[in-house]
Structure 1
Amino acid sequence: MSISLILVPLAMATVAAATAAGRRDDAGRVVCQVQTRMRDETLLAAALRDTGAAVAAGTDEITADWAGVRAEFRRGPDGIWAAHLRGDVDEERAVEIVRSVDAAYGRQVQGAVLQRLRAQAPAAGLRLESEEVTEDASVRLVFAVGEGDR
């Protein structure tokens, strides 16, 4: 089976349905719109690897292979990613895969932001006092203001 997904940025999520809205393209393939926050191709490739995919990345195109399913992610001229899934996949599984990738992408973004905060804190006169990962996987950082900044 073959399914194409249009990955709509969260900024446009109010336009997209909360769940996949299926339709068919001119070739008869099922096309779904799925909300996503994926923009950065490096983080997307890392998120795909986190879901167990074998990943090959190129300019504005990423291919991910799981057991029995291949996804080709392409960024259109409007910056929106589209994913075409084929193999052992139906509409429900395609949406499940993309949601799993989106969750992994969120974790990648969180890690990148944390890394940037840790790296930039000293230049801002801050010293990391403690770091706690909560039950819901959110991270609480406590910074102390340096002595020279008071």
Structure 2
Amino acid sequence: MSISLVLLPLAVAAVAAAHGVTSRSEQEGRIVCEVQTRMRDENLLAAALHDTAAVVAVAPDSITADWAGVRARFQRDEAGIWSAHFTGDIDEPRAVEVVRAVDVAYGRQVQRAVLERLRQQAPAAGLRLESEQVTEDDAVRLVFAVQGARS
């Protein structure tokens, strides 16, 4: 089976008033779905795919991810919107499930990148990391102190 998903950035999806998943069939009979996502950065996408236990290959114009019996080829169009073409032992609900799992993993990658940037840039801004706490829902709370200020 072959399924293609168009991964709409959340902002584009909101403007287009798309809600959830929409699908249609192309002339070739291939199912094409549109799925809302926040994925933009190809390095974070590749890392997120690794987090979902995919074997990942990155090429200049695409990213390929292989799971047991399923292959997804991610490509970005001129507007920067990713699409994923799935082949193998997959149906539409499973393809959407995979993309949503990748989107969750992508969110964790974004969080890691932002935290790392904050940790690196804090000293230059006159801040010292005092504490870091991860909550049950994986939110991270950082407490910074202004260097030179009394605690």
TM-score range, shorter chain: over 0.9
Instruction: Tell which deviates more after alignment, 95-104 or 24-33.
Output: 24-33
CA distance in 2, matches of 1:25, 1:57: 27
SS in 1 for 2:39: coil
Aligned 1:39-54 pairs, distance under 5 A: 39-54=40-55
Equivalent pairs: percent with the same residue? 69
Task: Count matched residues.
Answer: 148
Does the CA contact (< 8 Å) of 1:16 and 1:34 recur in 2? Answer: no
Aligned 1:1-80 pairs, distance under 5 A: 1-14=1-14, 15=16, 17-80=18-81
Q: Which amino acid aligns with 1:99?
A: R
Q: Normalized against structure 1, the TM-score is what?
A: 0.96
Structure 1 stretches of 4+ moved >6 Å: none
Unaligned 5+ residue runs, structure 1? none
Q: Which amino acid aligns with 2:22?
A: A
Q: CA deviation at 1:17?
A: 3.3
CA distance in 2, matches of 1:141, 1:65: 36
Q: Which residue of 1 aligns with 2:129?
A: 128
Q: CA deviation at 1:26?
A: 2.2
Instruction: Tell which deviates more after alignment, 52-61 or 118-127.
Output: 52-61
Q: Normalized against structure 2, the TM-score is what?
A: 0.95
CA distance in 1, matches of 2:123, 2:68: 45
CA distance in 2, matches of 1:80, 1:13: 11
Instruction: Tell which deviates more after alignment, 61-70 or 23-32.
Output: 23-32
For the aligned residue pairs, the C-alpha RMSD in angstroms reads: 1.0
Unaligned 5+ residue runs, structure 2? none
Q: CA deviation at 1:16?
A: 5.3
